[in-house]
Structure 1
Amino acid sequence: MKRSKLSLFLLLLLVIAVLASPALQGKTGKPEPDRVIPGDYDVWSVDWAPDGRIAFSGKQEGESGTATRIWLYRPEQAKPVLWTGTGSLVDSSPKWAPDGSGVVMVRKTVPTPERREFTTGIWWKEYPSGAGLRLTSGPQDRDPDWAPSGETLVFVRGDGLYNSSLLTIQKNGLGLTTLVANVQGFIATPHWGKDDKIYYTLLRQRKTVVEVAGQRFECWGLDRGSIWVYDLRTGENRPFLDNGDDNRHPVLSPDGRYLAYISSNGQPPVEERVVRDRGSLFVYDLASGTRFRVWDGVSLNGGPPCWSPDGTKLAFFSFRDNRPAVWSLKWKEHAQAETTSR
């Protein structure tokens, strides 16, 4: 009887300990990331305004991908507010102006049986009036980002899958300038830093030879990503992070000291993780040269990381619950310094 009472007492203590432990603790004992947008939305990218308002590209769960629009949201709201309703156009990649006066975004024309062309252009949408202006005519313009001054934008102009250029344009749609022309590869997600440098992702072409029925064929695709930097002062264009890993989506912190990016560095074998989340979130200290691993299981696709206005949080894209979503965490609580040349 005494032994039975003792076992019951120990079991009760175990239950109390489990219930009393923090609900959001992961395997490391640190808080798990928070979902940025409510779970009944599929979210591809977010951007924080200086006042904390969030613009995101997404749709409600169950809707077709062509219903992707730009939404506005604050954590204290019950639900996001639909901000664009543009018929057959698909809206993505929102970026707040540095003063919070509006958003630039990519608008895509979806092919139809009558019109087979797939075109994209950069648009401006003023907040809160909603007044809009088309800044570029495409046909394959993408990934806009603001200069710190808020007067100019950098964006990518594609010419098919394997040719890209890096350009700038003023916020009134004038002054189109080419910085890097006709790169053989896929340029993506440029970021204009306070150091007068533009960091961007470059995926080169990759040739694979396959043999079918005794015949050899060349197949072309995109290789791993590398991070490049274009110096606006000197015009120098050089690789910043090209080390054999798949490195993508560089974004500087608001104070310009830290560079966040996604990399395949150190990830476990494919069978041990969700294949679509084969990257990790890293932060590189430009002042000290220290690299920090922040979080594993991050998608190399989707939107780039996003800093909170105060620089304490990082948001990242992931399929961790088998749907496209964006999660955030206080990055310094998870940062683990690693010894590396970069």
Structure 2
Amino acid sequence: MSIENLNFEETDDLDEIIELADENQTGKERFEHYRFVADAGQSPLRIDKFLVNRIENASRNKIQEAASAGCLLANGNTVKASYKVKPGDVITIEMTWPPREIEIIPEDIPLDIVYEDDQLIVVNKVPGMVVHPGYGNYSGTLVNALAWHLKDLPLFQSKDPRPGLVHRIDKDTSGLLVVAKTEQAKTHLAKQFFNKTSTRTYQAIVWGTVKDEQGTIKGNIGRSLRDRKQMTVFTDDTMGKPAVTHYKVLERLGYVTLLECRLETGRTHQIRVHLKHIGHTLFNDERYGGNQILKGTTFTKYRQFVKNCFSLLPRQALHAKTLGFEHPTTGKFMEFDTPLPDDMTNVIDKWRNYIAGREAE
């Protein structure tokens, strides 16, 4: 794998195509996003294999999902992922919205800067902020804010929608991110994330009483075959990508548990998917069903209590708390920690009070 492909091992450029493709695009105007013409000497080759080497950061799984969404065409006709490309074939990927060249517009958005030097910057991302621009989010992202803060640096004057980024966290997850300020730093940091020598811990509030004090979750993660907006754990090792999450209990709060999670890998929605897989969905994680009352009583008073908690914490209860990596020029291992944001601490306090009140009865 090349250095360029080390960035974002948990995502690729086809994510938006999969997540936003209509189930039925019949009769809708289509717009071409990719076009390739097979050479005259092209030997018969499955279209997913043909495209995986031609689209930056693409994987066969994502290309197969694009085919299932009806986005892959050969000579103007929709084809399956098993289609064999022949000499002279015109292969296109088409969508129902026009392609847009993403221009990074610097925006004066406040940043919580934990550390900064001439090589890198560590920020504490607030919940609700998208990390990098993409379809439906062309402004207000972390990259837009960084482009303003680092506007004099060459790396942030390019058209790259992910300048300096070597990892990411979900929109509604808060916490620490390191961003490179030079190409050298970007390459060095990307290698660490790819080789799993960086360290990351998260804190999460999950539904239910986690039985063991600590444990490890292993299971390949890939996009769900039933709902493309969700990721899932596959028991078939040929599907998805390997993922490992370690966890330990920090505090038991009745019908919810506060966990620390340590990542070995960085797959899309990894903690959210792995914890749901073992029966402990993140508290108020709408995408994975955590915004429903999954544990507890049927009493009206309890339902109102949980509703109040959801109002205090209107997102999944996940915070990227610590981050460690080797500095790209000094070689020193650096570790950063940030406190839980108020929305999570307020909900934890409410659960503590609820448990204390129940025990006093």
Structure with greater proportional helix content = 2
Instruction: Confirm or deny a common fold (TM above 0.5).
Output: no
Q: Normalising by structure 2, what TM-score?
A: 0.25
Relative CO higher for 1 or 2, CA cutoff 8 Å, sep ≥ 6? 2
